[in-house]
Each structure stands twice: as structure tokens, then as C-alpha cells.
Amino acid sequence: MLTTEYKIEYDFDQETGAVTAVVPALNYLSSFGATFAETEKNITEAIGAYLEALTKEESVIPREIEYDHGTFVKVRLRLPQFA
């Protein structure tokens, strides 16, 4: 099982109250939600779906650049040997 971490950049829109999340290492994959918890759940699901699609295409799974600060999410996936 592959375990990897990706930095997530969160942004809060004061006008709408929406929270957005972006994962720069995954082609700027993004998601949003009405709350931080909802956004975190949504972006985690989006990361999993994106990595699963890359695996099915036999594409390389991007690795995160080392950061010393920020918000990260760990993703555990069952991926074929080539990933």
C-alpha cells in the first residue's frame, strides 16, 4: 500500500464563507466546501480519485516537494507495483 503526503493550500472567502483547497503537486487539483472539515474531506477524496486515475493510466504518481510548514494530508492507497 502506498502512503504519501501532499501539501494543501487552504483559502477562506470572507464574503461567501466557502473554503477552497489546492494541491500544487497534483497539477493544482482543487476542491471546496462550506466548512474546513467539509473541504478537507472533499480534497482528500479528490486526491484519492486523482491518484487512482493516474494508476489506471499507468502514469507516474507525483511526489511532494519537501516543505517545512503548511497543512498536509496523508493518503493511503492500494496501488499496483508500478506506482
Task: Indicate the domain borders of the chain.
Answer: 2-77
Looking at residue 64, its pLDDT comes to 74
Angle (CA) 42-33-24 rounded to 5° is: 60
CA distances from 30 to 6, 21, 26, 76 (A): 12, 5, 9, 19
Looking at residue 50, its pLDDT comes to 93
Fold of 2-77: Double Stranded RNA Binding Domain (3.30.160)
The answer for residues whose C-beta is within 8 angstroms of residue 23's C-beta and 6 or more apart is: 6, 7, 8, 9, 29, 30, 43, 46, 47
User: pLDDT in tens for each of the 83 residues of the chain?
Assistant: 567 778 888 999 999 999 999 999 999 999 999 999 999 999 989 998 999 899 889 888 887 767 666 666 666 666 555 44
